[in-house]
Amino acid sequence: MSTSTETTVDLSRPEVHLHIGSERLSEGSAGSFEHVNPATGTVDKVIPLAGPAEVERAVNAAAAAFESWKRTAPAERARLLHRLADLIEENAGEFGRRGAMDNGTPLGTVASLTGKSIAWTRYYAGWADKITAEVTSTLTADGELGYTLRQPYGVIGIIITWNGPLISLAMKIPPAVAAGNTVVVKPSELTPFSAELFADLVEQAGFPPGVINILPGDAASGAALVEHPAVKKISFTGGPVTASKILTACAPTMKPVVLELGGKSANILFEDADLTAACGFGTIMSVGAMSGQGCAFPTRMLVQESIYDQVLAMVEAIAEQIVVGDPFAEGTFAGPVVNRAALERIQDVIAKAKADGARLVTGGGPLQLPGELAGGFFLQPTVFADVDPASELAQHEVFGPVLAITPFRDEAHALEIANSTRYGLSGYVHTQDLKRGLRVAEELVTGEVLINGAANLPVNRPFGGLGLSGLGKEGGRAGIEEFLFTKGIGIA
């Protein structure tokens, strides 16, 4: 493992506002939040926080805008979304800078997420004029004609997490507004800078005031948004604990939800796999990319016994070559984790894994960098071998740069281990036997399966899990259908 510390990027932090209708507020009734730079551990900006009062104003603005937005020509909704996609592309460099400021994600990784965000926005722009209904019956013996309508819900409450603020905005807002809904969005207070730029671009694109409202806030403002009677559906990305509270709050009125939650995804390496590709993918995507802070990452590597020692050696070598350091420095692949609480929590997980008998292969501790980065929340990419499938490390999401490796005997044993958690977001398979790959993909209890390094989050493929990984889908046709309800109509 090596480190990087040199940068020439402008590090000034932008102002943050609450965007409600046509207003840009510099203060919120919930006070303010001290945003901490995770690379230095120091406060770099004080941002305003929305409280229930601002949530009320934003919902009212969205509800008022809905009456005209739902009647706006689909071609116009598409035009505005295409313009927004163009503006995101024009500001890709600035989104890279702000993403690194938000949570310490390195510039190169933010660039790839920005590209995906552009693609998601353009894809759902294309859906705006393709929402169709169906005739359910021609004239019957009783002389009736039946057909359906697909209609928007109204105001959608959107709550996003901190690990990928721009891609989360792009996965939720474009399909919601393409379908004719208006939105109130609560970004995490931990990552306000990307959302601020996104809100600016919404205004530049020419969206009517109130269609897209964006206001950073804390848990109280999130609860106010969820519970507001004028909010007709919730789309949330985050953890199961908060999701459970959202479900409880929505239960009395049966308010529908989309929940994109965590994962403990298995990555199965069979003995005929291309080990160079499989080990590179499995290591980088678990302890490198975003410092392991991704819900769909392959954080459990299941390895067939005949190649187990070979894979351990390869994974160790790859993990130790990951460049950890300043997210603004050229060549950095992994930055810090998001805050001190995350750093301490992950260190506790590592200590517990050692106590449970897992064998530490590499890493295992904090990483001390020189200069102003000395106070940053950096961790060594950490790999454990011989991990008991029933252990805490194998059963619970870490959300940090920690990989658990477990051997398996055969296909049935691999599936038994892979399906042994309460999560069900993603699954990964590496094999040169296509029939086996398809067979295993069918048996994995997950919302998606990626074979031989297939890409995460292509916009035209539905994404979303089951169990503790959530409800509903984002992406593809299913992604826009989440923001439409079906009405049946009969004519006598």
Give the mean pLDDT of 21-45: 97
Give the mean pLDDT of 115-136: 96
Give the mean pLDDT of 123-131: 97
> pTM (2 decimals)?
0.95
Query: What pLDDT is recorded for position 10?
Result: 80
The full set of domains in the chain, from first to last, is 9-261+469-491 (3.40.605.10), 266-458 (3.40.309.10)
- pLDDT > 70: percent of the chain: 98
User: Quick one: residue 42, left, alpha or beta (phi over 0 = left, psi -120 to 50 = alpha)?
Assistant: beta
Q: Tokens 């299941």, residue?
A: 302
pLDDT in tens, 452-467: 999 999 999 999 999 9
How many Å apart are CA 137 and CA 149, to the nearest integer? 14
For 111, the token pair is: 């660039």
Query: What pLDDT is recorded for position 404?
Result: 98
Query: What pLDDT is recorded for position 137?
Result: 83
Query: What pLDDT is recorded for position 314?
Result: 98
pLDDT of residue 6 exceeding 60: no
**What is the band of 7 on the pLDDT scale with cuts at 50, 70, 90?**
low
Query: What pLDDT is recorded for position 8?
Result: 63
Q: Positive or negative, the Cα torsion across 394, 396, 398, 399?
A: positive
How many Å apart are CA 416 and CA 303, to the nearest integer? 13
pLDDT of residue 443 exceeding 80: yes
Query: What pLDDT is recorded for position 138?
Result: 78
End-to-end distance of the chain based on CA atoms, in angstroms?
73
pLDDT in tens, 156-202: 999 999 999 999 999 999 999 999 999 999 999 999 999 999 999 99
pLDDT in tens, 396-417: 999 999 999 999 999 999 999 9
**What is the band of 81 on the pLDDT scale with cuts at 50, 70, 90?**
very high
Query: What pLDDT is recorded for position 5?
Result: 58
Residues recognised as catalytic: 260, 295
Query: What pLDDT is recorded for position 139?
Result: 72
For 298, the token pair is: 């392959």
How many Å apart are CA 74 and CA 37, to the nearest integer? 41
